[in-house]
Structure 1
Amino acid sequence: MTPTMTTRRRALILSSLLAVAAGTVAMPTAHADNKRLNSSVFGNIYTAQKQNGCPTDPRLDGRLVDAAQRQTLDLLNNHDINGDIGTDGSTPQDRAQAAGFAGQVAETVAINQSLAINGIDILGQWWWDPPSRAAMQDCSHTAIGVWSENSLDRSVVVAVYGTPA
């Protein structure tokens, strides 16, 4: 073999090995921990209720967090829906009851067509929308659930507000 053939052959073998290795090595995926964002959204709801003179502090309710998570994931993965009704026809009340919450609920949804969403984006969507602001400030909503998720082209935050039975 000539030196050029050996170099070419080595390059071909090396590129083949790299292609095989690239196909078998898992590429890292980003998974955001939105705990801080969710806590911030809850804090904004708490503040909105306090500004409205609510005498009782709202509390996080795991059942409503589950209901919020269900709708958040549905909205994140189904771009043809943008509100309270799930792809299965479920309402916020249906999802809360399925999670074990017996009281009445309301829901707010914030969606950005981007990788990220922040508290300013969320408040901008909820504070200036009269029904959303009313849900945030309703003193009977003492049980709260918040969930958020992100994908490359969509970020979703859902808050579920409950009046315990």
Structure 2
Amino acid sequence: MTVSNLVRTLPALAVAGALVVGTPAAHADNRRLNESVAVNVYTIQHHAGCDTEIQINPQLQLAAQWHANDVLRNRALDGDIGSDGSTPQVRANNAGFVGTVAETVAINPALAISGIEILNQWYYRPDYMAIMSNCANTQIGVWSENSLDRSVVVAVYGQPG
């Protein structure tokens, strides 16, 4: 599914990124939050002058899922490097993606995280903004996980090789 299709199907609230996830990881369905992150990246890319259609990629989504679970369970982690020393590129390659990747990570010390909180963490970081607005990143995988006192969102951006 293309992100532009998501733009048309998600309610305005999701596009604005104001969704809140409020259930523990064992029972959570964060699909709408994950899709709203992809929609917001699509919007940022188009504001940057990109004319490409960013695509949701299941391999990148799997790499994002692995890292989100790792960061949720390992409190010492707060960035791109996994508890096993893996990088976003290694995780994407292990998930079957061929190409170059970059990653953004949002952590909130609470049960829930909203699209606004995610964007506030990413938008004002020049390195993350450069990743999100890079027109060459034509594929994306987003995953989020929650526990009672921590929420993690990982987006992996891909440039197919």
Same fold (TM over 0.5): yes
Quote the residue 1:14 is aligned against.
none
Quote the residue 1:98 is aligned against.
94
Following TM superposition, by how much is the alpha carbon of 1:73 offset from its aligned partner in structure 2, in angstroms?
0.1
- The aligned runs of 1:1-165 (5 Å cut-off) are 31-165=27-161
State the Cα deviation string for residues 67-124 of structure 1 (Å, max 9, x = none): 0000000000000111000000000000000001110000000000000000000000
Letter in 2 for 1:143: Q
Q: Following the alignment from structure 2 to structure 1, what is the Cα–Cα distance between the partners of residues 42 and 52?
A: 10
Q: Following the alignment from structure 2 to structure 1, what is the Cα–Cα distance between the partners of residues 37 and 114?
A: 9
- Any runs of at least 4 consecutive aligned residues in structure 1 with deviations exceeding 6 A, and if so which? none
How many aligned positions are there? 137
Can you give the 5+ residue segments of structure 1 that lack an aligned partner in the other structure? 1-28
Can you give the 5+ residue segments of structure 2 that lack an aligned partner in the other structure? 1-24
Identify, as 1 or 2, the structure richer in helix. Answer: 1
Q: Following the alignment from structure 1 to structure 2, what is the Cα–Cα distance between the partners of residues 105 and 143?
A: 9
Q: Following the alignment from structure 1 to structure 2, what is the Cα–Cα distance between the partners of residues 135 and 104?
A: 12
Output the TM-score relative to the length of structure 2.
Answer: 0.84
Q: Following the alignment from structure 1 to structure 2, what is the Cα–Cα distance between the partners of residues 67 and 40?
A: 18
Output the TM-score relative to the length of structure 1.
Answer: 0.82
Letter in 2 for 1:110: A
